Amino acid sequence: MPDLHPFIMIVIVLALVFDFINGFHDTANAIATSVSTRAISPRNAIIMAAVLNFLGAMAGTGVAKTIGGDIIVGNIDQPIIIAGLTGAIIWNLLTWKVGLPSSSSHALVGGMIGGVILSPMGAAGLNYTGIGKIVIALVASPVVGLILGFIIMTVMFNIFRNSNPSKTNFRFKKMQIVSAAMMAFSHGSNDAQKSMGIITLALVSGGVLSEFEVPSIVKILCAAAMALGTSVGGWSIIKTIGGKIFKLEPINGFAADLNSSITIFTATLLHLPVSTTHVVSGSIMGVGAAKRINAVRWGVAQQMVSAWVLTIPCTAVMGALSYKVVMMLFG
């Protein structure tokens, strides 16, 4: 590989840091339900999630190409990418610190938008059609998760309504391990590709690559960074996802994980980036509502929705400010 410009090296490092943070920030998505119902120990859950996140991340590159090609029009300067990643990383750390589940996908898109707007490219450098497609996927996916979660849980309640609740939950506690494994794989398949797309975009814009094809070494690095981050765990977010939205039983946890993994992996096959945090949260709300509408703690859900709405504008501001700082330091 030819010598890399220092800016490209900074992009690679920041993208891997973002992936690492994404791993521990979003660990809750894969394991919160199974941990909260005690289907699996936290230690074993994290090990399983880390391994399957890695394998999922190696499954394809369609989402990476969407992230790399659908946000910006034309050739992009490295400082814009650096600024976008910096804004997303700051937001993820802030929300992790307070235990608030937020979207790493929203954060990355918002950070990139802010960096582009403040750069010489300005708003004309944004691919509005591509951004619209990404935003629609990000907004629609939790709604789909909520609706399907409600439907799946309703069907399961009807199937097992005459069964002994204790025996049913005991069986589903074992099945939850399988659904959590599916969730971890689908999480890796979608989320790790976002950093792959950013690194590949930097390599193309820097003239290292002639076309947008994710190199194998980039796939391995991003998969490893996410798996390593997952192994660290994000316990404050696990507590919010696993218990504060709705008191989960094994049958509920299985339904939520099954629905989430299907929704996320379908988006991956369609090359659409989605927020695993949003999908899982929506699924849990739908599953809880199927049991009883007031079983869901809608106040917590409202706080989470507020964070979702604020993420893109807040990270756009952070990305813009980060671009200003980068240009002051290196411009």
CA-CA distance, 146 to 240, in Å (whole number)? 17
Domain segments of the chain as ranges = 6-330
Confidence class of residue 300 from pLDDT cuts 50, 70 and 90?
low
Q: Tokens at residue 78, please?
A: 């490295």
Bridge partners of 72, per DSSP, are 126
In 60-127, alpha helices (H):
62-69, 78-97, 104-118
Percent of the chain with pLDDT over 70: 91
Tens of pLDDT, residue by residue over 47-72, are 888 889 899 889 888 999 999 889 98
Q: Which of 167, 166, 172 minimizes the C-alpha distance to 152?
A: 172
Return the pLDDT at 1.
Answer: 46
Return the pLDDT at 42.
Answer: 76
CA-CA distance, 73 to 83, in Å (whole number)? 17
314 residue type, one letter: C
In 206-297, alpha helices (H):
216-232, 235-239, 250-269, 276-291
Q: Tokens at residue 136, please?
A: 């629609």
**pTM assigned to the model:** 0.85
Tens of pLDDT, residue by residue over 168-210, are 988 898 898 898 899 889 988 998 899 999 999 999 988 899 8
Is 192 within 8 Å of 223 (Cβ atoms)?
Answer: yes
49 residue type, one letter: A
Tens of pLDDT, residue by residue over 16-38, are 999 998 887 766 666 777 777 78
Query: φ, ψ for residue 126 (rounded to 5)?
Result: -90, 140
Q: Which of 55, 104, 77, 84 minimizes the C-alpha distance to 224?
A: 55
